[in-house]
Amino acid sequence: MASLGPGKPMYTVTEAKINAEILTGNAQSFTMKPNARYKGWGACGRPSSCILRTASPVDPEKLHAFLIEAKRFAFRLKGYLPLAPEGLLHLVDCSDSQISIRPAAFGPGGKRKEGLVVIGKKLAPPNQEVITTWKQQVGTDIHIEE
């Protein structure tokens, strides 16, 4: 943006309508009004996230069982995990009532980092609920990155 208008002031806005004159530098100063529709993060508070990494390929049925249980503490889970027995990467995507586990498809030379991002409902460090549920449903070792 700065290269489009060198020397022009930069404005940070979220959830607001802005006058196009800001981009040309012809605008007068203004005060943004809060978005009346935004009511905060709700009872769960601001979501937190972590990345779950496995030490070995995961049994597909046990992963599915984990995803069903994870809906209690997570808004969304998405990423790439190796599935047993061959250890091939699969795209895992889970939100609300949707669970999808399918072979990862990458273009030529494409590669993805393994890991499952967990966007949680107030996950408390060190994400004990993620670890406990994984151990109960899958039974293999995991590493959590915050």
Q: In the chain, what are the domains?
A: 48-145 (3.30.1220.10)
pLDDT in tens, 2-59: 666 666 666 666 666 666 666 666 656 656 666 666 566 676 667 888 999 999 999 9
Rg of the chain in Å (alpha carbons): 21
Cβ neighbors of 47 (< 8 A, separation 6 or more) are: 41, 75, 119, 120, 121, 122
- Give the Å distances, CA to CA, from 141 to 46, 74, 104: 28, 20, 22
Closest CA to 114 of 82, 72, 66: 82
**Global pTM?**
0.68
